Structure formats: C-alpha cells, structure tokens
Amino acid sequence: MVRDGNPPSSLQHHRPSQGFAVVTGASSGIGRELAKRAAAAGFDLVLAADELRIYDVAVELRQTGSIVDAMCVDLSTTQGVDDFVHFVKDLDRPVDLLIANAGIDHGGAFVETDLSQTLAVIDTTIRGSVSLIHQIAQRMGARGSGKILITASIVSVLPGRRVRSSRRTSPARVTAIRTGSQS
C-alpha cells in the first residue's frame, strides 16, 4: 500500500465539484477512461490501482481542475480493501459515485490456467470488488444517495471463445446500481 505523497488535494480545488467519485482499476484501460470522463463531468476523484502509475493518472486528471487523490493498493486482499476504504473515509467526503473496475485476467483457457492465477482473479474481481462495493454502498444507503457502476471484462461475451479464466464468471458484465436517490 502506498498513499499519494502530495499535499491534500482538497487544498488545490480549482472549480465547483459535481460530486465525489471513487474509481478502482483506474491506472489503465476502461478504468482510466471512466476516471477521465468523471473528471471531465466535474467530479472530484479518488483513484485506486495496484500499479504505481496510478499517481501519474492522478497528476494528469488534476489538470481538469478536479481534486484527485490516489492510492496504490492491492484490492485482492481484505487488508487492501480495508486500507482503501479508510483512505476514502479519511477524505471526509460522501461518495456520490463508485466505479468498481478493479479486475485482472491472466488469459488462456480455464483448464490450462494455473490455479493460483485463477484464484488471484477471483480475489480481485469478485471477493475484493464485492467487499469494497458493500462497504461503500452501506454508507450510500445510510445517506439515501449514491450510484455504483460495476464493470467486467468484455471477454466473457465474445463469440467463439473457449472458456476463459474466472473473470468470465464475474458478478456482472456492466451493471449500474442506484442506492437511495431517485435521480
């Protein structure tokens, strides 16, 4: 676990915020793109990924005028999820939008994939994501407000593919969940 070494970005606010978004798996791919779109829409962000380049993404997204904090953390572990949830809580802002995008896929046919790799996929994509979503959704529910977007690999729906690793069995392909609010 590494926290962003920069001073609290809340001291560097450049424009009115449209809300506060948490984005996991934001160092590359779909997660990075969704973080960019949230920043462009005016959200302040807290980003998570298990790669140090998450801090480069945070620096890049601060250029939009958004407040952006980041944490390099392994969300496949209970400790990593708990550390990240505490990091978010320490920012003392209600989460308006959770984009749960953390996930890995080692590729290959399921029966040819090493079991430890398959279990790592499950720990990140399912166990870690569900734990994080549950903890943040509880706070959203208590407030009566908040939105959650859960993403998963498109590999699971491509035609003509052999059965792939357990990322295929993720709890959702793309699901939006509303908690509380009617907006």
- Residue whose token pair is 């990593």: 80
Q: Report d(CA 66, CA 9) in Å as an integer.
A: 9
Per-residue pLDDT at 25:
93
pLDDT digits (tens, 9 = 90+) for 79-113: 999 999 999 999 999 999 999 998 776 667 778 88
Distances (CA, A) of 59 to 13, 36, 68, 72, 107: 13, 12, 8, 14, 31
Question: Tokens standing for 135?
Answer: 């903890």
Q: What predicted TM-score, i.e. pTM, was given to this entire model? A: 0.78
Name the DSSP letter for residue 53: T
- Average pLDDT for the chain: 81
Domain 2-178 class in CATH: alpha beta
Per-residue pLDDT at 162:
47
113 compared with 183, residue with greater pLDDT: 113
Per-residue pLDDT at 165:
39
Per-residue pLDDT at 126:
84
